[in-house]
Chain A
Amino acid sequence: MSSSPSLNTWSDALSGFSIGWFPLGLVIVAVIPLVFIALYALTYGVYGERKISAFMQDRLGPMEVGFWGILQTLADILKLLQKEDIVPTAADKFLFVIGPGILFVGSFLAFAVLPFGPAFIGADLNVGLFYAVGIVAIEVVGILAAGWGSNNKWALYGAVRSVAQIVSYEIPASIALLCAAMLAGTLSMQQITVMQTGPGGFMHWFLFNNPIAWLPFLIYFISSLAETNRAPFDIPEAESELVAGYFTEYSGMKFAVIFLAEYGSMFMVSAVLAVAFLGGWASPLPNIGGLHLNDMTSGPAWGAFWIIMKGFFFIFVQMWLRWTLPRLRVDQLMYLCWKVLTPFALIAFVLTAVWEIYR
């Protein structure tokens, strides 16, 4: 492993940096993912999704603000900033205000264990994967607070559906990630990634170096769609039924924060998928003979590039699915979770264990 000596060097150096008593380096470590979420949500998340959806529906999408509508998101942000920040009279003010906060913090905290390349990770926990799965579940509390606090029938329905859905889908998702943890023999996000690096590029990824991983990979991907409330599992915010689901009553910047949290967790689950099965920051290019493509495309900066690209690819697949599939009914959603994904996840779990013993 050529890159292992430099593992976490950047983030370690940053976290050791402080001015007097003030740990400025730690703040910077925390700010980097925040800035990343904001930038990516602004460009790829909103503008990209609008364009991709438009192209899939034979439309042009935003075209007016800037060249090919590229400044459309900035115009939207300006609009949201100017909007009145309404707290309904009948709402539970505390829950209403704290809801978006918990939502965003929940999705943002998971970025702490996300390795942005071999040299940078917020916190290289030895239970990183477990932490990521667990901390994302905090979002449920935020959704419930927002939906209940709004004192609105649609918001409450959306929140209840969302909680039921996320809690249910945690199970197949966790079992599927457990398969990856078994293959790696560790829960640390960095170590899982390191296990998948090598001169063969993509051939070392768990998805390709054993015959079973495609099953937990698919199961985790499907469950992650449900956990982030993306189509076809967007029943918590089903536009045609519930207006906007649990954030029906939100306006202005609170609405923007909820959206930011949603895009943050979209990237989070995509990155976790990439780390668990597709080698995280590992380069997909193999060394072919004398051509050392893998060595050339490895390193801290390349690592950041690869994991972000892998995350973006799965976000593209999420968008692609969103504009392809109709929304599931609540009973179909539960059927898929409990009767299809969970049994298959258990089968995958057993098969992975057998593979690990006898390979």
Chain B
Amino acid sequence: MSEYFSNIKTGATTIATGMGITLKHFFNAIKRKGDTGIDDADYFRQVDGLCTLQYPKEAIPTPPHGRYRLYVNIDDCIGCCQCERACPVECITIETIKTTADDLAVCGKTSGGQQKRMWVPVFDIDTAKCMTCGICQSVCPTDCIYHTPVADFSEFNVKNMLYHFGNLSKIEAEAKKKKLAEQQAQAAKEKAAAGAAGAPAAKPAPKPAPKPAPQQKEGEA
């Protein structure tokens, strides 16, 4: 019998306690939880008030060192294709065209002062595939591919997730390709002529080509 009454008492007191807690939360609804970050000393003290974040309108800013959407500073890209090879999910597609000797000045230098030897007409990143591992960023010799703090880049059409960073239009690329082919044909002819003459022709490039891979690529293209 005493258990019966103690049960009722427990029921009443626990209901009262619970209702007190809910009512406290109800009246705290006039407050909002602050937006102090996890590294703030007050983080665990802000227990009162609404915690809903109305996302598209309000957002906790991503940290400045956040690694989300990839960006390519194509002006610094030397077309080495290291990122393409390093990418574990193969989300990067690069096509390059070797720059002819007379175009070197037009092609320009990277911000680090390195002479660019490749046109990069196609530099596509499928951000839908990208898993933000950051390997491409670590292998890039000129630090031109990097993750940005932009975290929300959802699209209604998955095709829009394919980002194009190439800096040549199709017509320009065709022209460059044609020019290179002509020059190579010219060089081959000269070489053949020189070989016949027995004297090696001076190569136009002052330095050796930086990477062998782009040339393979170029062969495909």
A-to-B contact residues, CB < 8 Å:
52, 54-60, 63, 320-321, 323-325, 339-340
B-to-A contact residues, CB < 8 Å:
4, 8, 15, 18-19, 21-23, 25-26, 28-29, 33, 49-52, 54
User: A63-B54, A340-B8 are contacts. A58–B25 as well, Cβ < 8 Å?
Assistant: yes
User: A63-B54, A340-B8 are contacts. A57–B25 as well, Cβ < 8 Å?
Assistant: yes
Residues of B within 8 A of A52 (CB): 26
Tell me whether A320 and B23 are in contact (CB under 8 A).
Answer: yes
Bound-state Cα–Cα, A54 to B22, Å: 11
CB distance from B130 to the nearest CB of A (A): 31
Bound-state Cα–Cα, A324 to B8, Å: 18
Bound-state Cα–Cα, A112 to B8, Å: 37
Tell me whether A55 and B29 are in contact (CB under 8 A).
Answer: yes
Bound-state Cα–Cα, A56 to B23, Å: 7
Residues of B within 8 A of A60 (CB): 50, 52, 54
Residues of B within 8 A of A58 (CB): 25, 28-29, 33, 49-52
Bound-state Cα–Cα, A169 to B51, Å: 39
CB distance from B142 to the nearest CB of A (A): 46
Residues of A within 8 A of B15 (CB): 321, 324-325
Bound-state Cα–Cα, A59 to B21, Å: 15
Partner of A320, one of B26, B49, B50: B26
Tell me whether B52 and A59 are in contact (CB under 8 A).
Answer: yes
CB distance from B2 to the nearest CB of A (A): 15
Tell me whether B19 and A56 are in contact (CB under 8 A).
Answer: no
Residues of A within 8 A of B18 (CB): 324-325
Bound-state Cα–Cα, A324 to B21, Å: 8
Bound-state Cα–Cα, A178 to B25, Å: 37
Residues of A within 8 A of B19 (CB): 320-321, 324
Partner of A56, one of B8, B22, B33, B52: B22
Q: In chain A, what residue has the closest Cβ to B15?
A: A325
Residues of B within 8 A of A56 (CB): 22, 25-26, 29
CB distance from A292 to the nearest CB of B (A): 33
Bound-state Cα–Cα, A323 to B26, Å: 10
Residues of A within 8 A of B21 (CB): 324
Tell me whether B26 and A59 are in contact (CB under 8 A).
Answer: no
Residues of A within 8 A of B22 (CB): 56, 320, 323-324
Residues of B within 8 A of A325 (CB): 15, 18
Bound-state Cα–Cα, A78 to B8, Å: 46
CB distance from A231 to the nearest CB of B (A): 12
Residues of A within 8 A of B33 (CB): 58
Bound-state Cα–Cα, A192 to B136, Å: 81
